[in-house]
A and B are shown apart, each in its own frame.
Chain A
Amino acid sequence: DGGITQSPKYLFRKEGQNVTLSCEQNLNHDAMYWYRQDPGQGLRLIYYSQIVNDFQKGDIAEGYSVSREKKESFPLTVTSAQKNPTAFYLCASSMTGINEQFFGPGTRLTVL
């Protein structure tokens, strides 16, 4: 079964704690993306990576960090510097030169 997976589905954290969201894909896609979605809003790009060991900031990168050590994996860390981290986080991937992005099921992060 090819696809993109995110874990966990629900995540709770206390204020001041860092937390890492997992994203894995077995589609052999070079490009991967992280988006944040707030209620009643569209998707906003946090970070993206076109190739292993390289990534770029998106529109709302402050308070987040990523790594891309393997083609299949693109974890997102929400740091304590992110002032309003409660949101639905979506990971996506795409083939190089292709615009269509495939999305994972999302992780809902709640800060208590």
Chain B
Amino acid sequence: GESVGLHLPTLSVQEGDNSIINCAYSNSASDYFIWYKQESGKGPQFIIDIRSNMDKRQGQRVTVLLNKTVKHLSLQIAATQPGDSAVYFCAENKGGGSQGNLIFGKGTKLSVKP
């Protein structure tokens, strides 16, 4: 029979609008979080990161918000452009510390309508 693949959560926005992508993390001991952007058929690219001693960090057109109380992370993209269309992954470091092992979420697919 036909196999059915898993469907990513999808966010569709109009060009020029702001986008908010959400992520719930699992490990309260994680002290580092990172967002990656992955275009189709390519490797993930770093967008922005944040340490647990911060609530907010801003980059160019992007902002990451961290709510440790509810273990929630969000990525905000201002003035979304067609080139922002991609899958976005959040990741947390495993068990804290700086060992580099990251746990990745399943991703959210962002589609930007012109």
User: Which A residues are within 8 Å of any B CB, using their own CB?
Assistant: 6, 31, 33, 35, 39-45, 48, 50, 90, 92, 94, 96-106, 108
Chain A CB within 8 A of B85 CB: no
Contacts of B105 in A (CB 8 A): 42
With contacts A45-B101, A48-B101 known, is A100 near B107, CB below 8 A?
Answer: no
Decide: A40 and B49 in contact? CB cutoff 8 A: no
User: Would you call B102 and A40 a contact (CB within 8 A)?
Assistant: no
Q: Are A101's CB and B42's CB within 8 A?
A: no
Q: Are A43 and B89 in contact (CB under 8 A)?
A: yes
Main secondary structure of the interface of B (DSSP, over half): loop
| CB-CB under 8 A for A102 and B89, given A42-B104, A42-B106 | no
Given the interface pairs A42-B89, A90-B44, A106-B43, the reply to whether A101 lies near B8 with Cβ below 8 Å is no
A40 touches B6 (CB 8 A): yes
The chain A residue sitting closest to B32, CB to CB, is: A99
Q: Chain B, 12-49, contact with A by CB distance < 8 Å: what is the 0/1 string?
A: 00000000000000000000101010000111111001
B-chain residues with CB within 8 Å of residue A48 when the two chains form the complex: 100-101
